[in-house]
A = this chain, B = another copy of it.
Amino acid sequence: MYNPSKPYKKQIFDLISKTWSTPFIEVKRGIYPVFKEKVLGWKVDHTDGVGTKGDYHWKKKTFKNAVLDALAMNLNDLALVRATPYKLQNHIFLPEDNDKYILNIIGTLSKECQKRKIAMTGGETSIHNNSPSIDISMTVSGFIKKLKPNKCKPGDILIGLKSNGLHSNGFTKIRELFGNKYKKDFTKPTRIYIDEILGICEKFTVNGMMHITGGAFTKLKDIAENVDLKIYKKGKILPHNIFYEIYKRGVSDKEMYTIFNCGVGFILSVPVNEKEGILKNLIGAFEIGEVIRGSGDIVIESAFSNKIVRF
């Protein structure tokens, strides 16, 4: 827990306390900040972090992007249960006890939290001076206005939201393929979808949703009960160049769609009659496939060849 008694930790504490003006929680400062919650009903906690992408963030000192990655990994998953994030605890795993780095990280996080009315209720920095990597992980709590199932329905249209590139998964593979080589793609931050997704869910019917991250398109199986999901080549989202580069290094079509988002970071399964309205309200969103009666198969026309990938 951050302790304001140490010099730069006071600055950290000030950055954290800036996030306490939120309608969802009342925070009182003591030896630790304690709080009363003003949200009732169903809640969810979610923990995730940057993972091995942290190797590149550490080498290039791209701390702001590391924070966005860690936030995205949590917020985009919270979107799947339609949860509004309202408080957060962070854990920063850092190879060097450097005030500037830590203040940069906490400062970015504080700003992103203020934007969304998320209260930072605390956190911890852990210095591992023999580690080659940073990891930023966090636990984000969300409240759910209305619990709804997350299941694709036969007849649904699949809408894909463009990714910002690799996002935060597949980096063990990236290191395997590229060795010590660095590309700017390796530190680009993950797109945060939750803000627009929660807006869409308020106005339109959405039956199923998936954040395409670790496990990539195989994760769609979790929302495909008694249906098959078909993703077409004619869908208007082309993979970024980096994905073609990876493919050319000998990764199979199936592996591509198991590890990487291949250009699509988030998928919505929506009734046909909602399609137009939803597409108009989203940026970088396109029809990419459909849902038919079936037995839980995911069928993808590969963007990289004429092959069909099946999960």
Contact = CB atoms under 8 A, between A and B. Distances in A.
Interface of A: 1, 3, 5, 28, 30-37, 41-49, 51-52, 54-55, 77, 80-81, 87, 89-91, 93, 121-124, 126-133, 135, 137, 139, 144, 147, 149-150, 172, 175, 215, 219, 221-223
Contact of A35 (B34, B43, B131, B219): B43
A42 B52 contact: no
A76 to B, nearest CB: 11
A45 B131 contact: no
A271 B46 CA distance: 42
The 5 closest A-B pairs by CB, nearest first: A139-B139, A47-B89, A89-B139, A45-B121, A91-B137
B31 A42 contact: no
A72 B121 CA distance: 20
Given A31-B150, A32-B80, 7 more contacts: A31-B81, A32-B77, A34-B42, A36-B41, A45-B121, A51-B128, A52-B129
A33 B81 CA distance: 10
A104 to B, nearest CB: 19
A30 B124 contact: no
19 contacts: A1-B47, A3-B215, A30-B149, A31-B223, A32-B44, A32-B80, A34-B144, A35-B42, A35-B44, A37-B37, A48-B124, A49-B124, A49-B126, A51-B127, A52-B126, A52-B128, A52-B129, A91-B139, A131-B131
A223 B3 CA distance: 12
Contacts of A144: 34
Nearest to A90: B47
A46 B1 contact: yes
